[in-house]
Structure formats: C-alpha cells, structure tokens
Amino acid sequence: MEVIIGRKDGTNQLSLKVGNKVSIKGPQQSVNDGVSRENHCKLTVNDDGTFTIENLKPQNQTLVNGLPIASKRITPNDVVELGWKRYRLDWNLVFEVIPKMVNISHLRLVKQRYDEETQKLTVKQGRANALRSITSVLSMGAIALGIFGVANNSGSDGGFDIRIVLYALAILLTVGFTIKSFIDASKLPQQRKDLQDWFTRNYTCPNCGKFMGNQDYDHGVSLMECCPACKAKFIKG
C-alpha cells in the first residue's frame, strides 16, 4: 500500500491519497506552504510493519530525524518533516487512512503446537490399540501350543500346562487393557476437545479474533495480505 502525501491547495490541509481516494486531514491552514501541493512524498507500507518514505520531487525536501533523505525505511517512532519550513507529519492522521497492521508471525508456532499435540494423541490411541491386540496373540499362542502338543506337560511327571499360564496371562492382560481402554476412552475425546478449543482461541486474527480455520500457516494464512473479516493488514516478519 502506498500513501501520497502533500498539501491541499487553498485550504492548506494535509492531503493523503491512497489509490484513487484522497483524504483531507487536519484543520485549515495547518500545513505550511513549504509542503508541495498533493505530491510531496510517498509512504509505502512494508510487510514487516515498517514504512519506506520517498521524496517525490528534487525541489521538495523530506527530512527524517532532522536529516534530508531521498528514500528511507522508517517506523512511526521516527520524526518526519516536510518542506523547508519543516512541517512535522502527524502519524495519527496517516493511520486514519491505512488499515491497522497486526503481526501474525506467532500463529506459525500455534499451528505447529496444535499439529504436534494432535500427533501425540493419535500415537497414544494407536499404542492403546496395539496393547489390546496382545491378548489375542497370547490366546492364539496357547491354542497353537495345544494343537501341536508342545505345551502339555501336566502328565505323571507333575509338570504344568503352559497353555494355562498363557490363558491366565491373557485374561489378566485383557482385564488390565480393558480398564485402561475405558479410562483412555473417556480421556482422549476430552483431550482432543480441549486441544481444539485452545487452537480455535489462539489461531486467530490478533485484531478481531477471527479464527483462521484449520489451514496450514506457511501455505495458507501467511499468503493472506489481510484479515478477511476486519481487513487488518497482516505483518509476517
């Protein structure tokens, strides 16, 4: 975005032109005749929240912090003066004609954390499913040993049947995993909901709070020039 700064002829007010729209700011006779009419300098809004000011005509004079410049990157903390009579630019008037700028670089970390926590919950669910499958393996192992007659040592020698051990272990694990699965079944949905609520609250426009959706930051939000709701300009640096 570019703002052409100058003086409104006749009323000597500040002229700020954005695109085809010209806004006249300040009281009449507030801008001295040292400022060129309508096209004194150009202020460009940069993506990182800074500005670049450029003197538009050789006969004009634009000063930043007391020093004349042809073009310079500045911030609102810098003092900008126009013309040989040194009219001091009022940044508040400039901000009235450009959209509010908000830094959204922190949203990358929000999305990364959300993706990481989502992956952890998915892995946790997968591990629980894998543990439950062990009971089936133990049961099938006991059956297989019985079929091949390898495990039955409960004859006259007073041995024991390995199948009974495997079945007992399978039962104990089944009970344990069932209890754990019951607990996880109640915890995981709530954890997912809490994570989604946190993401919805934080993955938003810093100005109006609009949720940016589930789109990726680097390939989605960071490509947006402004908020679709409040039109605040996004700064990504």
Structurally, how many domains does the chain consist of? 2
Q: What value does the mean pLDDT take over residues 187-207?
A: 92
Pairing of strands 80-82, 21-25: unpaired
- Clarify whether residues 81 and 160 are in a common domain: no
pLDDT in tens, 32-87: 999 998 799 999 988 777 899 999 998 899 999 999 999 999 988 999 999 999 99
Quote the tokens at residue 145: 């040993």
- Clarify whether residues 113 and 64 are in a common domain: no
3-state secondary structure of 125: helix
- Clarify whether residues 128 and 85 are in a common domain: no
Quote the tokens at residue 107: 């949203």
Task: Select from 49, 65, 98 the last residue of a domain.
Answer: 98
Judge whether residue 171 has pLDDT over 60: yes
C-beta of residue 148 within 8 angstroms of C-beta of residue 141: no
Task: Kindly give, in sequence order, each residue whose CB lies less than 8 Å from that of residue 88, ignoring residues fewer than 6 positions away.
Answer: 79, 80, 81
- Clarify whether residues 162 and 219 are in a common domain: yes
- Clarify whether residues 152 and 231 are in a common domain: yes
- Clarify whether residues 122 and 31 are in a common domain: no
- Clarify whether residues 116 and 83 are in a common domain: no
- Clarify whether residues 47 and 112 are in a common domain: no
- Clarify whether residues 194 and 213 are in a common domain: yes
- Clarify whether residues 111 and 26 are in a common domain: no
- Clarify whether residues 59 and 146 are in a common domain: no
Q: Tell me the CATH number at 45.
A: 2.60.200
The mean pLDDT value of the chain amounts to 84
- Clarify whether residues 94 and 117 are in a common domain: no
State how far the Cα of 176 lies from the Cα of 23, in Å rounded to an integer: 73
Judge whether residue 160 has pLDDT over 90: no
- Tell me the pLDDT band of 202, cut-offs 50, 70 and 90: very high
Q: Residue 139: how many CB atoms within 10 A of its CB?
A: 18
Exposure string over 197-226, b if 16+ CB within 10 A, otherwise e: eebeebbbbbbeeeebeeeebeeebeeeeb
Task: Select from 49, 70, 98 the last residue of a domain.
Answer: 98
3-state secondary structure of 217: coil
Beta strands in the chain (DSSP E): 2-8, 13-18, 21-25, 41-45, 51-55, 62-64, 67-68, 71-74, 80-82, 87-88, 101-103, 233-235
Q: What value does the mean pLDDT take over residues 167-171?
A: 69
**By residue range, what is the domain housing residue 31?**
2-98
